Structure 1
């Protein structure tokens, strides 16, 4: 059965973000048990040219909000990149999940006819809404979710594949 762009976004983003929030909680508890300063984990990165954990989470939430508003032709609310802590990141995730879940389907009613223009990799790109969602936005979102998970897994946090998948509804 074909799904609307709205249904796809409302399914993909909240599940993965809620899983990420749970992963952050497990990592925080683990870091306290191991007496690892939270800032070490929040600033950890897998490679020198990659974002640290906190920025991976911030970027994933940005992708979720920006995707829906780009598809609607609107502007996404801007969330401040607060001083990173596990609490501020979970709060940001919760606000993003609420935004996605409350985003009205009617705002995407004509999304199929919309041309999405984005600047990426130093150039302007144009694509139809479905291509944007399925071939650009969702893969980028999953990239940042995966990097956040990978960073925490690499540091030794006790998380596994089931944690990455998030809650099934």
Structure 2
């Protein structure tokens, strides 16, 4: 069995969303949880709200670009607390679950346009977008959310982060 674009794009995205959900659930019960949405690792970095927003937005755009459908329009305004985080993750997981493997595989060489900030864009093949932009961004923002929560004193560890990725493979 070979490793496919679907495996790289859709399965890793699903697992990352599940990991994010798990660490946020643990954080929600912390006594200082109400301060976490605005928490940052450093003054010049973006806060937890942004990490959740960007990870979920990137996740649904990976699905849109690899299946050829229009992405959802997600707002940062409704991604500002734990209840909204979990609702957003659930909504995006629904999108991810609907991704058709055959469609993703057929679109590997299709060219997609991606945004790279205000007024900037680039064209990439789907497989290159997933490998060079989509998945690295998913993991960057997942790891940053994890690090913010650790910095704020949430008792989470590597197992909380990694179990959604490896749990299904344990015998």
The alignment's TM-score, normalised by the length of structure 1, stands at: 0.87
Alpha-carbon distance in 2 for matches of 1:113, 1:138: 17
- Flag the 1:71–1:92 CA change in 2: closer, same or farther, 3 A: same
- Flag the 1:146–1:165 CA change in 2: closer, same or farther, 3 A: same
* Alignment of 1:131 onto 2:131: no
1:48 Cα deviation (Å)? Answer: 2.2
- Flag the 1:18–1:37 CA change in 2: closer, same or farther, 3 A: closer
- Structure 1: tracts of 5 or more residues without a match: none
Partner of 2:142: 145
Given the alignment, which residue of 61, 68, 93 partners 1:66?
Answer: 61
Alpha-carbon distance in 2 for matches of 1:138, 1:109: 16
Alpha-carbon distance in 1 for matches of 2:74, 2:63: 15
- Structure 2: tracts of 5 or more residues without a match: none
Count of matched residue positions in the alignment of Structure 1 and Structure 2 = 164
Cα RMSD after superposing both structures = 1.8
Conservation of the 8 A alpha-carbon contact between 1:16 and 1:166: no
Partner of 1:9: 9
1:134 Cα deviation (Å)? Answer: 1.1
Given the alignment, which residue of 98, 101, 107 partners 1:102?
Answer: 98
* CA distances 1:71-120 after superposition (whole Å, capped 9, x unpaired): 23321122333151111101111111121012223432421220122232
* CA distances 1:7-43 after superposition (whole Å, capped 9, x unpaired): 3223101112111111111111123xxxx251x1111
Alpha-carbon distance in 2 for matches of 1:134, 1:14: 15
Conservation of the 8 A alpha-carbon contact between 2:52 and 2:79: no
* CA distances 1:123-146 after superposition (whole Å, capped 9, x unpaired): 432222211111211001110111
* Alignment of 1:42 onto 2:50: no
Alpha-carbon distance in 2 for matches of 1:112, 1:101: 19
Partner of 1:75: 70
Runs of 4+ in 1 over 6 A off after TM superposition: none
